């Protein structure tokens, strides 16, 4: 396979060279951090008064973690290192849970980000020959604009349609012979279910690849998507605190996401103790942004659970790989004392061909006992018409879930189209235990 | 054999209506129907005049539905006839997975519609005919 690179020197740099870049950039970014109200207060207490206090990469450990709550408390400008006149873009979280968080980018920051996204796209085999339909929302959310500018920089023809309006999405995919999509896995599954209704067949489309991200999903989901569409699906990882998409991306070998270590320092920690864990161990991902000057964020606790692994990839890149996100520290459900992640339930559902791809998890209480109810939809094309088939499907889901998560779930089988469809991030878990 | 159309619907207001609405729009005549209550959901089973068309249109609208061949037996509407029918099935170890029956008023016949796993053997057919029962074809059901 011919491997394409966007910036070959950096992408194929040796570990030593990558670490040298990291150290010099970390020192630079620490100096910018010391211009912000937040880090001005915090870093001197940790013994860091200037970049000269960072002599090796190991000195990173002296820097305290930055939490989501720090971003909220510093709203709107407590983490700003430059003046507004030097800022060219801001992004913000929806703030549905209270105070929003805000991110600032200077012209150079935007340029570094866009280059990382362009690098990610080229690593998947994307090029200026491609037609790119961007189905992520535009606006304050970083997902849409991040990929948009990266794809433009690569030279793709960009269709900035944003999320939703499935009929129109399908029409444009057909009319413009779209090759590449940026989309959430749940919406891509939904589009497949709507193809037949739109009177458009897969043969009339020219899809080659999809960049899937913004919500955790299982390997089973990826495989299902690849089979349904006959395309390659590339996992993408990013978060607005670290600019957005382009933090880690899968290359053409689709064997874990390369985390761009010239742009970020990744660490995996034990979420309870904060201790840094070795490669291969599952824990919370902590990221330091090495290029953003307008708003430096050091050792940010992402709350995403994953592990890092080394080893040269067949693509020649030595940037370590990030595992699939196994869940979020705050997504974890505790059901009758057992820790369960929604991804474990999704894995089971995706293995069962008789049910569709949409699902919801309900948590309720019966007396003191937690009850887990999994709602799924019957897959319309596999229904035999027999009541016994319905019983068998329910039984199989129950048994497989019990084997996987050690909990006896209730399973509700619904007709296709019953469960809500999410065009952005899917809401998979409804916890009603507090209301009971 | 006659074909029974099964449609899987949620057990909540409006779902049955969504099926009858589509069939009405397509000018499809429902000849007989029954609904099996399954708690959260239900299984609507019906004979319609254009079964293939009805199946296609419902599937196209996203319903989980299927067409299944079933055994439809016409029995004279007299005491003991259903028992005679089930006795023949028992003697031949035929398991009836699901069944529903209805009466046709004008000619005083009862119709018994049975879902069975395997097609019945020649000898079962003969026993049924000897007892005065008629096994209906697809065409027979449409002409009722």
In order of start, what are the domains of chain B with their CATH numbers?
A: 3-69 (3.30.2130.10), 71-142 (3.30.70.260)
Q: In chain A, what residues touch B9 (CB-CB under 8 Å)?
A: 415
Is the predicted pLDDT of residue A69 greater than 90, yes or no? no
Is B38 at the interface with chain A, CB within 8 A? yes
Share of chain A above pLDDT 70, in %: 98
Higher per-residue confidence, A424 vs A171? A171
Q: In chain B, what residues touch A416 (CB-CB under 8 Å)?
A: 62-64
Identify which of B40, B62, B97 has the shortest CB distance to residue A412.
Answer: B40
- Enter the pTM of the model: 0.70
pLDDT confidence band for A74 (50 / 70 / 90): very high
Is the predicted pLDDT of residue A96 greater than 70, yes or no? no
**Ranges of each domain in chain A:** 1-330, 333-435
Buried (b) or exposed (e) across A57-75, using 16+ Cβ within 10 A? eebbeebbebebebbbebb
Identify which of B36, B63, B67 has the shortest CB distance to residue A380.
Answer: B63
pLDDT confidence band for A307 (50 / 70 / 90): very high
Q: In chain A, what residues touch B65 (CB-CB under 8 Å)?
A: 380, 383, 385
Is A47 at the interface with chain B, CB within 8 A? no
Does the beta-carbon distance from A385 to B36 stay under 8 Å?
Answer: no
Highest-confidence range of A151-155, A331-335, B123-127, by mean pLDDT?
A: A151-155
Give me B5's structure tokens. 């159309």
Does the beta-carbon distance from B36 to A387 stay under 8 Å?
Answer: yes
**pLDDT digits 0-9 by tens, B76-132:** 888 999 999 999 999 999 999 889 998 877 778 889 999 988 888 999 999 999 999
Is B43 at the interface with chain A, CB within 8 A? yes
State the pLDDT at residue B118.
83
Does the beta-carbon distance from A380 to B65 stay under 8 Å?
Answer: yes
0.85 surpassed by complex ipTM: no
* From A272-281, A378-387, B53-62, B92-101, the region with the lowest mean pLDDT: A378-387
Does the beta-carbon distance from A384 to B38 stay under 8 Å?
Answer: no
Spatial distance between the Cα atoms of A365 and B109, rounded to a whole number of angstroms = 52
Is A385 at the interface with chain B, CB within 8 A? yes
Q: In chain A, what residues touch B40 (CB-CB under 8 Å)?
A: 412-414
Is B63 at the interface with chain A, CB within 8 A? yes
Is the predicted pLDDT of residue A216 greater than 80, yes or no? no
Smallest CA-to-CA distance from A231 within A258, A199, A206, A255 is with: A206
DSSP-derived letter for residue B28 is P
Is the predicted pLDDT of residue A95 greater than 70, yes or no? no
Distance from CA of A393 to the nearest CA of B (A): 14
Using the Cα atoms of residue A67, residue A73, residue A75 and residue A81 in order, give the sign of their dihedral.
Answer: negative
Q: Tell the CATH topology of A333-435.
A: GMP Synthetase; Chain A, domain 3 (3.30.300)
What mean pLDDT comes out for the span A415-422? 87
Task: Give the residue from A415, A416, A421 with the most B CB atoms within 10 Å of its CB, the best one to mutate.
Answer: A415
Share of chain B above pLDDT 70, in %: 100
pLDDT confidence band for A98 (50 / 70 / 90): low
SS (H, E, C) chain A: CCCCCCCHHHHCCCHHHHHHHHHHHHHHHHHHHCCCHHHHHHCHHHCCCCHHHCCCHHHHHHCCCECHHHHHHCCCCCCCCCCHHHEEEEEECCCCCCCCCEEEEEHHHHHHHHHHHHHHHHHCCCCCCCEEEECCCCCCCHHHHHHHHHHHHHCCEEECCCCCCHHHHHHHHHHCCCCEEEECHHHHHHHHHHHHHHCCCHHHCCCCEEEECCCCCCHHHHHHHHHHHCCEEEEEEEEHHHCEEEEEEECCCCCCEEECCCCEEEEEECCCCCCECCCCCCEEEEEEECCCCCCCCCCEEEEEEECEECCCCCCCCCCCEECCCCEECCCCEEECCEEECHHHHHHHHHCCCCEEEEEEEEEEEECCEEEEEEEEEECHHHCCCCHHHHHHHHHHHHHHHHHHHCCCCEEEEECCCCCCCCCCCCCCEEECHHHC
Using the Cα atoms of residue A252, residue A257, residue A258 and residue A264 in order, give the sign of their dihedral.
Answer: positive
Is the predicted pLDDT of residue A91 greater than 60, yes or no? yes
Distance from CA of B130 to the nearest CA of A (A): 31
**pLDDT digits 0-9 by tens, A217-237:** 888 889 999 999 999 999 999
Q: Tell the CATH topology of A1-330.
A: Rossmann fold (3.40.50)
* From A30-39, A52-61, A200-209, A321-330, the region with the lowest mean pLDDT: A321-330
Q: In chain A, what residues touch B5 (CB-CB under 8 Å)?
A: 385
Closest-CA residue of A relative to B68 is A385
Q: In chain A, what residues touch B59 (CB-CB under 8 Å)?
A: 380-381
Does the beta-carbon distance from A388 to B97 stay under 8 Å?
Answer: yes
Spatial distance between the Cα atoms of B85 and B49, rounded to a whole number of angstroms = 26
Average pLDDT, chain A: 92
Share of chain A above pLDDT 90, in %: 69
**pLDDT digits 0-9 by tens, A17-36:** 999 999 999 999 999 999 99
Does the beta-carbon distance from A416 to B65 stay under 8 Å?
Answer: no
Higher per-residue confidence, A88 vs A198? A88
Distance from CA of B16 to the nearest CA of A (A): 12
**A-B Cβ pairs (cutoff 8 Å, strict):** 60
């Amino acid at each position: 396979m011919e491997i394409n690179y966007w910036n070959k020197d950096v992408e194929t740099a040796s570990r030593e060279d990558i670490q040298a870049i990291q150290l010099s950039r970390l020192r630079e970014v620490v100096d910018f951090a010391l211009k912000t109200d937040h880090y001005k207060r915090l870093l001197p207490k940790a013994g860091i008064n200037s970049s000269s206090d960072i002599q090796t990469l190991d000195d990173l450990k002296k820097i305290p973690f930055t939490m989501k709550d720090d971003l909220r408390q510093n709203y709107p400008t407590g983490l700003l290192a430059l003046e507004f006149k030097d800022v060219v873009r801001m992004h913000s979280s929806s703030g549905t849970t209270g105070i929003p968080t805000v991110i600032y980018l200077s012209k150079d920051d935007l340029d570094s980000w866009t280059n990382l996204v362009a690098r990610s796209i080229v690593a998947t085999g994307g090029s200026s020959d491609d037609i790119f339909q961007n189905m992520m929302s535009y606006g304050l959310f970083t997902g849409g604009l991040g990929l948009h500018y990266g794809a433009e920089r690569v030279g793709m023809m960009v269709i900035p349609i944003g999320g939703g309006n499935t009929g129109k999405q399908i029409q444009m995919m057909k009319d413009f012979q779209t090759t590449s999509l940026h989309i959430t896995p749940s919406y891509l599954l939904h589009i497949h279910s709507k193809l037949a209704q739109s009177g458009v067949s897969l043969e009339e489309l020219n899809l080659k690849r999809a960049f899937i991200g913004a919500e955790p999903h299982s390997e089973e989901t990826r495989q299902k998507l690849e089979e349904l569409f006959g395309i390659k699906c590339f996992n993408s990882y990013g978060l607005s605190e670290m600019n957005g998409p382009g933090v880690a991306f899968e290359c053409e070998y689709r064997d874990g996401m390369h985390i761009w270590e010239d742009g970020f320092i990744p660490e995996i920690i034990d979420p309870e103790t904060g201790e840094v864990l070795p490669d291969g161990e599952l824990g919370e991902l902590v990221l330091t942004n090495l290029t953003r000057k307008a708003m430096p964020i050091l050792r940010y606790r992402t709350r995403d659970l994953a592990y890092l692994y080394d080893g040269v990839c067949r693509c020649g890149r030595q940037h370590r790989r990030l595992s699939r996100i196994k869940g979020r520290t705050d997504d974890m459900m505790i059901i009758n004392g057992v820790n369960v992640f929604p991804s474990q339930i999704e894995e089971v559902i995706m293995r069962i061909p008789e049910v569709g791809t949409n699902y919801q998890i309900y948590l309720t209480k019966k007396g003191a006992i937690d009850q887990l109810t999994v709602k799924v939809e019957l897959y319309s094309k596999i229904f035999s018409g027999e009541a016994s088939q319905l019983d068998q499907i329910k039984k199989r889901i129950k048994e497989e879930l019990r084997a996987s998560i050690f909990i006896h779930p209730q399973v509700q089988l619904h007709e296709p189209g019953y469960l809500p469809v999410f065009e952005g991030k899917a809401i998979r878990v409804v916890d009603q235990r507090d209301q009971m | 054999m006659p074909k029974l159309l099964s449609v899987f619907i949620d057990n909540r207001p409006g779902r049955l209506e969504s099926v009858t609405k589509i069939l009405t729009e397509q000018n499809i005549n429902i000849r007989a129907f029954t609904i099996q209550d399954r708690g959260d959901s239900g299984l609507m089973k019906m004979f319609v005049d254009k079964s293939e068309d009805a199946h296609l249109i419902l599937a196209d609208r996203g319903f989980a539905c299927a067409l299944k061949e079933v055994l439809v037996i016409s029995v004279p509407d007299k005491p003991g006839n259903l028992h005679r029918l089930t006795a023949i099935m028992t003697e031949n170890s035929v398991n009836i997975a699901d069944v529903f029956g209805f009466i046709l008023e004008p000619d005083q016949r009862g119709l018994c519609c049975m879902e069975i796993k395997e097609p019945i053997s020649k000898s079962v057919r003969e026993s049924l005919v000897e007892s005065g029962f008629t096994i209906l074809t697809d065409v027979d059901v449409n002409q009722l």
